[in-house]
A and B are shown apart, each in its own frame.
Chain A
Amino acid sequence: EDKVVQSPLSLVVHEGDTVTLNCSYEVTNFRSLLWYKQEKKAPTFLFMLTSSGIEKKSGRLSSILDKKELFSILNITATQTGDSAVYLCAVDWGGSEKLVFGKGTKLTVNP
């Protein structure tokens, strides 16, 4: 059965800390891995990764994929309280046009 596992499930840090969120997967016909951020309402798209070793970056957030070891990490540097959210990892596998989501990592950034 295809699956996506995120760790840790929750994390509490102080402003200014750097955090690393993990996502490992077991899927057949891997096509891409996506990260989403969910604050109070709907998830919003952050990154799509398709190739190993190529870092995607947006401001203080960055992500990289390792297709050999089947995992991805999401890094957030100099965290701010506005980074508090649930971060969702999803894998797009080539079987059909749908995503398999992990359970998410709840990040809390305290002042």
Chain B
Amino acid sequence: DAGITQSPRHKVTETGTPVTLRCHQTENHRYMYWYRQDPGHGLRLIHYSYGVKDTDKGEVSDGYSVSRSKTEDFLLTLESATSSQTSVYFCAITQDRTYTGELFFGEGSRLTVL
């Protein structure tokens, strides 16, 4: 058990509203990631973090922002949700202090934007 929890697990919202997804880990891991998964696209990286206040963009970062003010929490924010952001969002961590590429994923958050 990698000790990752995502919240909320399911959310339905309307276009134009702000949404924040939370990823919480309990074991002080350095690297945290947000991915989205859509049919026909596989897993695509949105943003990632390599430490408190250290974040970087992934391949599909437009329309998303992140924050990591403490080690255990990595927040993904959609400032103004659009229907194209309907997706399943996965948080992931690496368990080693040094990056190895082996990721452990949370259970996912299903977001529907109407």
Please report A residues at the B interface, Cβ cutoff 8 Å: 31-32, 34, 36, 41-45, 48, 88, 90, 92, 96-104
Are A48 and B108 in contact, with the CB atoms below 8 A?
no
Q: Is B41 an interface residue (CB 8 A)?
A: yes
Interface segment, one of B12-20, B69-77, B94-102: B94-102
| 6 interchain residue pairs of minimum CB distance | A92-B101, A42-B105, A103-B42, A97-B99, A101-B43, A101-B42
Question: Which of A31, A48, A99: most chain B CB closer than 10 A?
Answer: A99
Residues on the B chain within 8 Å of A48, using CB: 100-102
Total interface residues on B, CB under 8 Å, equals 26
Q: Given A34-B102, A42-B90, A43-B105, do A97 and B41 touch, yes or no (CB 8 Å)? A: no
Chain B residue nearest in CB terms to A97? B99
Please report B residues at the A interface, Cβ cutoff 8 Å: 31, 33, 35, 40-45, 48, 50, 56, 58-59, 90, 94, 99-108
Residues on the A chain within 8 Å of B58, using CB: 98
State the CA gap A34–B45 with chains docked (Å).
Answer: 16
Are B90 and A99 in contact, with the CB atoms below 8 A?
no
Chain A residue nearest in CB terms to B105? A42
State the CA gap A45–B44 with chains docked (Å).
Answer: 17
Residues on the A chain within 8 Å of B42, using CB: 88, 101-104
A34-B102, A48-B100, A98-B33 known; 10 new pairs, CB 8 Å cut-off, are A32-B101, A44-B105, A88-B43, A97-B31, A98-B58, A99-B45, A99-B101, A101-B44, A103-B40, A103-B42
Are B108 and A42 in contact, with the CB atoms below 8 A?
yes
* Distance in Å: Cβ of B49 to nearest Cβ of chain A: 10
Are B108 and A97 in contact, with the CB atoms below 8 A?
no
State the CA gap A48–B103 with chains docked (Å).
Answer: 11
Which of these, B41, B56, B108, contacts A96 with CB under 8 Å? B56
